[in-house]
Amino acid sequence: MFNTRRAALAVTCSLVLGGLAACGDDGADTSETGDPPASSDAGGGDLPERIVSLSPTATEMLYAVGAGDQVVAVDDQSDFPEGVPVSELSGFEPNLEAIIGYEPDLVVADALPDDVVTGLEAADADVLLLPAAATLEDTYDQLAELAVATGHEDEGAEVVAGMRADIDEILASVPDRVVAPTYYHELDDTLYTVTSSTFIGELYTMAGLENIGDAADPDGTFGGYPQLSAEHIVTTDPDFVFLADVECCGQNAEALAGRPGFAGLSAVVEGHVVELDDDIASRWGPRVVDLFRTIVEATAGLPVG
């Protein structure tokens, strides 16, 4: 019994953590409560002066829209841009007292338990929940929302316009192909992947690529984050492999080639294994442009048709 319970817990957790972006998708239990109220009143008269961010993506967004000076503390996973005031606060296990200790007037997170939201509001802090984006438009919306809430509406609009322009420019360089090249995006070395229905999957689709993971989760049973069978990867033999587990799990082109049966993969033989930055590939902030550029540039060399 002990083992089953533990296994069940582990299933839940690995699913929740399976691609950080997944957290927000099914974080419905929290987001329903906190979303709208905070942003509406923060946009008015009093601008927040003591912001606490519990989400690495929100941290990147805050600094991008120019609200960095108002940020007093960020969670232990936030690490960009350089010099952010990293604290011991955790976004996964938010500690109400520890957060209130920073005397915030605005707390930004991707998801928070109801009791923490209530507690923060009781302590006169506004709460803004920005769950994992499902599309690029969500990212733009969140940037704009955050910009308004922090009093940087114009800068926020500029950032979004700049991102749109960059994405369009990169998009224009994507060659028209007769047959879409295929890819496998690896979340960890136990072969968890994303489908096209996810935020990151959308970027690959925009880059004109076809996802070999789609077959494993056609109806969204796994929430867009299925665990692939090694046999599937070997037989579908994707043109490209993107590793988003370089940092977390020490993977690289060499390690990939060393796995049983993987040495003969076209992507390995042709040198089409792309090592991504785990952080950029798991956040939906402003650096998504860099990720998109990496994807498009890495695949540009493949002959058209």
- Under rule CB under 8 A, residue 57 binds another protein: no
Nearest to 74, CA basis, from 64, 59, 63, 60: 59
Tell the smallest beta-carbon distance from residue 235 to another protein (Å).
Answer: 5
174-203 footprint of another protein as x/- string (CB under 8 A): --------------xxxx------------
User: Is the preceding omega at residue 81 within 30 degrees of 0, hence cis?
Assistant: yes
Tell the smallest beta-carbon distance from residue 253 to another protein (Å).
Answer: 14
Contact 91, 109 (CB under 8 A): yes
254-293 footprint of another protein as x/- string (CB under 8 A): -----xxx--x-----------------------------
Cα torsion 168, 283, 138, 68 to 10°: value is -90
Binding range to another protein, per CB under 8 A, among 29-37, 154-162, 200-208, 244-252: 244-252
Contacts of 152 (CB under 8 A, 6+ apart): 65, 66, 67
| Cα atoms in the Cβ-side hemisphere of radius 13 Å centred on 64 | 28
**How far apart, in whole angstroms, are the C-alpha atoms of residue 187 and residue 160?**
27
Q: Which is nearer to another protein, 101 or 264 (CB)?
A: 264
Between strands 210-211 and 51-53, the pairing is unpaired
- Under rule CB under 8 A, residue 229 binds another protein: yes
- Under rule CB under 8 A, residue 216 binds another protein: yes
What would the two tokens of residue 212 be? 């070999």
Give the DSSP letter of residue 88: S
Tell the smallest beta-carbon distance from residue 208 to another protein (Å).
Answer: 23
75-104 footprint of another protein as x/- string (CB under 8 A): -xx------------x-xx-----------
Tell the smallest beta-carbon distance from residue 87 to another protein (Å).
Answer: 14
